[in-house]
Structures are given as C-alpha cells and as structure tokens.
Amino acid sequence: MSEIPVHYGTLSAPPTKVALVTGSAKRLGREIILRLHQAGFRVIVHCRQSTVEAQQLCQQLNIIRPDSACWLRADLNNAQALGEFAAAVPGQFGQLDLLVNNASSFYPTPVGTATLTQWDDLFGSNVKAPFFLTQALAPELYKQKGCVINLVDIHAEKPLAQHSVYCMAKAALAMMTRSLARDLAPTIRVNGIAPGAILWPSEQTTAVMPTLTEQDKAGILAQIPLGHLGQPTDIAQTVLFLATAPYITGQILAVDGGRSLGGTTKA
C-alpha cells in the first residue's frame, strides 16, 4: 500500500462535508479519496471487486481521523445493486455534499469485434450508472447545495483508435455533465475533469487488451506538450478545486499536459 501523500496545497473544506467517490479503492479514485480526506471531508469509498483495498484504505484513514471513512460495495451495472447502494449512501454519515463519478471500464472494441455485452459494460459504467446514481442522490445533494464531478476523458472529444464504444460513452458523459449542470442549477453544480494520460491501463484492463509497448508509450508521450505523464495528484487536486469553486458549473477541465491541443512535440 502506498504512503498517504502529505505535500498538498492549502485548499481545504469544512470538516463536516461528505464525499462519495465511485471506484475509489485503487488508482485515481483512491488518490481523490486521499486528497478529499486530507482537506477535511469524510469519505465514502466505493468498490466492486477491490474490497480488500477499500477496507485497508478506510482503516488507514480512520486511524488518521476516527469515523471519517467507510466503504460500500456495488456493481454499478446492476440496476438493483445501484439502487440499494444509492439508498445506503445517506445513512453512512447522514449527508452527502460531493459525488465523484469515477468508476469506469476501459478496453478496445475494434469494429467487427464489439459485442453487446461490451457495449452494455462500457456504456453502463461510464454513463448509465453515473446518470442514475446522480439522479438517485440528487435529493441529498440538494439538501447540502452539493456538487457532482464526472471523470470524463480527453477522448470524449478526440477518438482513441480501436476504442469507439468507450469514446462514445465518455462523449455521452460529457453531455450529461453539461445537461445536468443546467437541470440541477442553481442548487447543485455539475462539472467534469478530462484526464489525459495519467496512469497506464491497469493489469485488470491489460488482461483483456494488448499491453502498450514501449513504442506505444513513447508515441503517447510525444503528443504531450509538457513532456510527461500526469500524476494522480493532478487529478485529485483538480477534484478539490472544482468541489470548492462555487461559481463554476457545466465545465469540463482537461488535465492532460496540453495533449488535447493536438500535434506532436516533434517538428
């Protein structure tokens, strides 16, 4: 288990606020939980398969601040499980101020091979579940004048080769961000973050997709004007910024080292 980072900026939130981050036992979701917790939020970790990691993360956070973290498990592609999960959320700490829709599946679906099961999985985790979870939790967020942050992707705008279904799902999530920002205003703010290359795909993902070669990775790095991958902390810090920016809604902020500007760093 990695260490809790300690060198963050000075943004902070009132200690009573409660955040739920879906898919947060590992990787970017975990980093978001750590940052929000460090800023004073009580946190609800959500997982599907990573129950051991979720439990360990909460133990770690509750040692730092007793009664400040709990975890819930649900497959968000299962409508009944999503409903039960949403119903359980308000009871954890008695309120909800921030929902971060982070859980996602990601793998290629080359044209000619894509299946309905893959479609349902990719659209389910990346847009259907975020929509229905937001809808179910909106009454709680209304009470707190809370906000929603969706983890989108720069490939919602610019297609990633062989990933049409994932890209379409993220494009729908981008539109959901803007639509719900309009529909839930003026009480609930809804924003998105579009990461570029932050973490290479997980082992879970590489089990169903070819591993990126060093040449592939070099090709991606060549498209990033800032010349390096982002850090999970870059995403976590942006979540905290948007969570504490009262006049921003309906925006999707690219955190990508300039990659969405297009072109390559080579002449």
Ligand X SMILES: NC(=O)c1ccc[n+]([C@@H]2O[C@H](COP(=O)([O-])OP(=O)(O)OC[C@H]3O[C@@H](n4cnc5c(N)ncnc54)[C@H](OP(=O)(O)O)[C@@H]3O)[C@@H](O)[C@H]2O)c1
Could you list the residues that contact ligand X (CB under 6 A)? 23, 25-29, 47-50, 75-77, 102-106, 125, 151, 153, 195, 197-199, 202, 205
Copy the structure tokens of residue 91.
Answer: 């009871």
Catalytic: which of 8, 107, 142, 166?
166
Least Cβ distance, residue 221 to ligand X (angstroms): 13
Taking the least distance from each CB to ligand X, the nearer of 65 and 212 is 212
Instruction: Decide if 166 is catalytic.
Output: yes
**For ligand X, the closer CB: 163 or 189:** 163
196 vs 49: CA distance, rounded Å: 25
Q: Which residue is nearest to ligand X (CB)?
A: 23
Instruction: State the nearest-atom distance from the C-beta of 84 to ligand X, in Å.
Output: 13
> 144 or 204, CB closer to ligand X?
204
Name the minimum Å distance from CB 167 to ligand X: 11
| Catalytic residue set | 166
